[in-house]
Amino acid sequence: MTSEIENEVPLVASILLACKAFIIFLSESPLMSVLVELIEKMLLLVGATDSFVPSALDTSRSIVIISLTLLSYYLFFGKRHSRKRHRLATELQVAREKLHYLQEQVLRDESGSTNEVRIFLDGAFDMMHYGHMNAFRLAKSLGTHLIVGVNSDKSITSCKGKPLMNDDERHTMVSACKFVNEVVPDCPYIMNKEYLDYVIDKYSIDYVVHGDDPCFVDGKDVYAAAKAAGKFRTIPRTEGVSTTDIVGRMLLLTKEHHLHGGLGSQSKFLTTSRMLKLFSADVQPPTKDMRVIYIDGAWDLFHPGHVAILKAAKSRGDYLIVGIHGDGVVNRQMGANFPLLNLHERVLSVLGCRFVDDVLIDAPYTVTHEMIASLNISEVVQGTVYDDIGSDRNDDSRYKDANDAGLLSVLQSPCDFRLENIVHRIQDNQETFQARFKRKTEAENDHYKDKYGHNSANSTSGKIDKYH
C-alpha cells in the first residue's frame, strides 16, 4: 500500500507542477495582458471599482480551473450522455412508428373499413433494398391499394446523375414487391402540381405519401398542392440502410456490416426483430397437400436475376421456401467483402418478394435428407445463372441427397442478370460514384446531426427529396 501511495504522489505532484507552470506562462504572455486589460475596461464600464479587476495571475488560474473542470466533466459524464442520446433516438423512432400506427387507424376510420383507400408513393428506387420495401409496407398500411411511381432514367439523370439500374430493372424490382399493387412507369423525378393533379385524377388517389423529411425544389414544397387538398401523408424513413451505404461497402471493401454470431448479433437496423415480424406477418405454413419447392443461395443485393428465378421456382409448386446462407458461408464461397448485405438485410429483401412464401434463415449449405423430410420438400431447384464472383460452383456434394432422391431440378434461368453486373457498373464509373457517395454521406450526416445530435452514415436518406 505504501509503495502505491509513493507512486501516486509523484504523479499528482507532476500534474500540479505542470498546471502551475502553465498558469505562470499564461500570466506572463502578451495575450493575457490584453485579456486582463479588456476585462478591466468592461468592469469599469459597468461601474466596478479597481478592487474587482483581476490580475493576470488570477485570470490564468481561472482559465486553468475552468478547463480542468470541463475536461473532467467530459471524461466522467460525456459517454453517459452519448448513451442517453442513443437511447432517446431509439425511443423517438418507436414513438414515430406508434404515431404512424395511430395515423393509419384515423385514416381507416375516416375512409370506412369497407372502402378502398388508394395510396401513391413515388421514387427512383435505385438498387432496391429492404428500406425501399419497408417504405412500401408503411405506405400500404395507410390504405388498401398501393400505387408506386418509378422515376424515369431521363429525369433522374438530369437531376442527380445516371442511376445504377435502368428503367426496366427498377420497374421489375418494384413490381416484385409484395406490398405493391400497381406500378406507374416514367414518373418525373421532380413532382410538380400539374403532374400530381394528373396522377390523383387518373389513378383515383386518396393520399399521396412521402417520407417525413422536407421535400423542396427551388425553394418550393413539392407536395404543397396535395397538402392543401388534405391528400398528403408522411411515413417514417427506415433507418439503418441506404443505397449510398451499400455503394460505399463496394467502394471501400469493408466487412463491418457482416454478422458474427448469427441472429443474436446486434444489427445496424435498430428494429430487426420487429421488422422481421412485420415483413412475415402474412406468412402461413404449407398444408400437407401443398407441393413445397426449395431454392437456396446468398441473395446478395436482391436484383432482377433473383426475381426471375424465384418466379420460375414458385411456378413449380404451391409453396416456395427460400434458403438464405449466413454471412460466413457466403464469404467463404465468394471472398473479398461479400456479402455486401448482411444476413438480416438479405432476409428482409427476400421476404419482401411476392413469389416467396417463407424463408429459411442461415440455411445449411448442404441440403440433407433430414432437411428435406423436416420441411416436407417436394422439389429442390437451382438456376443456371449464379452470382458466382470468386465462388466455386463445382461442388456437387451440397445437393447430393436431393439428387439421389430424384428431387433435384436445374431450371434454365429466365434472366442472365448477376451481382457482378452491379459491381462492374460501379467499377466502370468509380470516380462518379465515389463523388456521389461522398456528397450523399455528408448530406446524411447533416440530417442525422440535426435529427439526433450525432453523425451517422447508416441511414436511408439525408435531406434529400426522393426515395433513391
Asked whether residue 395 falls in the same domain as residue 411, the answer is yes
Query: Within 10 Å of residue 454's Cβ, how many Cβ atoms?
Result: 12
Asked whether residue 214 falls in the same domain as residue 295, the answer is no
pLDDT of residue 2: 45
Q: Examine residue 446 and state whether it is found in any structural domain, yes or no.
A: no
Cβ burial 298-318 (10 Å sphere, 16+ → b, else e): bbbbbbbbbbbbbbbbbeebe
Q: Examine residue 292 and state whether it is found in any structural domain, yes or no.
A: yes
Query: Within 10 Å of residue 61's Cβ, how many Cβ atoms?
Result: 17
Asked whether residue 133 falls in the same domain as residue 24, the answer is no
**187 grid coordinates:** 414518373
Which CATH number fits the domain that encloses residue 381? 3.40.50.620
Distance CA 293, CA 321 (A): 6
Distances (CA, A) of 123 to 185, 199, 203, 236, 464: 10, 14, 17, 15, 11
Distances (CA, A) of 62 to 22, 26, 454: 12, 11, 31
Q: Residue 458: what residue type?
A: N
Q: Examine residue 49 and state whether it is found in any structural domain, yes or no.
A: yes
Domain boundary among 47, 66, 82: 82
Domain boundary among 211, 235, 259: 235
* Residue 463 φ/ψ, nearest 5 degrees: -80, 75
Q: Rounded to the nearest 5 degrees, what angle is found at the Cα of 214, between the Cα atoms of 209 and 216? A: 100
Query: Within 10 Å of residue 5's Cβ, how many Cβ atoms?
Result: 8
Asked whether residue 283 falls in the same domain as residue 401, the answer is yes
Three-state secondary-structure class, residue 465? coil
Q: Rounded to the nearest 5 degrees, what angle is found at the Cα of 374, between the Cα atoms of 262 and 294? A: 75
Q: How many residues can be counted in the chain?
A: 468
Distance CA 202, CA 346 (A): 36
Distance CA 30, CA 53 (A): 18
Domain boundary among 178, 207, 235: 235
pLDDT of residue 41: 74
Q: Examine residue 432 and state whether it is found in any structural domain, yes or no.
A: no
The DSSP 8-state label assigned to residue 396 in this structure reads: G
Residues contacting 135, CB < 8 A, separation 6+: 121, 123, 211, 235, 237, 238, 467
Three-state secondary-structure class, residue 312? helix
Distance CA 433, CA 306 (A): 24
Cell 418525373, located at residue: 188
Q: Examine residue 7 and state whether it is found in any structural domain, yes or no.
A: yes
Q: Number of structural domains, the chain?
A: 3
Asked whether residue 75 falls in the same domain as residue 97, the answer is no
Q: Minimal CA–CA distance to 351: which of 74, 82, 134?
A: 134
Asked whether residue 135 falls in the same domain as residue 49, the answer is no
* Residue 105 φ/ψ, nearest 5 degrees: -65, -40
Asked whether residue 32 falls in the same domain as residue 174, the answer is no
Asked whether residue 99 falls in the same domain as residue 199, the answer is yes
Cβ burial 384-412 (10 Å sphere, 16+ → b, else e): ebbbeeebeeeeeeebebbeeeebbeebe
Sign of CA dihedral 77, 83, 87, 89: positive
Residues contacting 319, CB < 8 A, separation 6+: 286, 290, 291, 292, 293, 357, 358
Asked whether residue 386 falls in the same domain as residue 298, the answer is yes
* Residue 131 φ/ψ, nearest 5 degrees: -65, -40
Distance CA 339, CA 334 (A): 8
Count how many Cα atoms sit within 13 Å of the Cα of residue 217 in the half-sphere of its side chain: 13
Q: Examine residue 242 and state whether it is found in any structural domain, yes or no.
A: no
Residues 208 and 200: beta-carbon distance below 8 Å: yes
First to last CA, the chain: 64
Sign of CA dihedral 267, 269, 273, 278: negative
* Domain membership of residue 358 as a residue range: 271-422
Strands (E), 63-103: none
Helix axes 130-141, 56-111, angle to 10 degrees: 50
pLDDT of residue 77: 66
Query: Within 10 Å of residue 89's Cβ, how many Cβ atoms?
Result: 17
Q: Examine residue 176 and state whether it is found in any structural domain, yes or no.
A: yes
Residues 164 and 426: beta-carbon distance below 8 Å: yes
Asked whether residue 381 falls in the same domain as residue 356, the answer is yes
How do the pLDDT tens digits run along the chain, 468 residues long? 444 444 444 655 666 666 666 666 666 677 767 766 776 677 677 666 555 556 666 666 777 777 777 777 666 666 666 666 666 766 666 666 666 656 656 655 655 555 899 999 999 999 999 999 999 999 999 999 999 999 999 999 988 888 999 999 999 999 999 999 999 999 998 888 888 889 999 999 999 999 877 677 667 777 887 888 888 999 987 776 777 778 888 887 655 656 554 433 334 444 467 788 889 988 999 999 999 999 999 999 999 999 999 999 999 999 999 999 999 999 998 888 899 999 999 999 999 999 999 999 999 999 999 999 999 999 999 999 988 655 555 567 899 999 999 999 999 999 999 999 998 898 888 888 787 777 777 766 665 566 555 554 443 333 334 555
Asked whether residue 341 falls in the same domain as residue 374, the answer is yes
The DSSP 8-state label assigned to residue 341 in this structure reads: S
Asked whether residue 304 falls in the same domain as residue 349, the answer is yes
The DSSP 8-state label assigned to residue 210 in this structure reads: E
The DSSP 8-state label assigned to residue 177 in this structure reads: B
Distance CA 344, CA 247 (A): 18
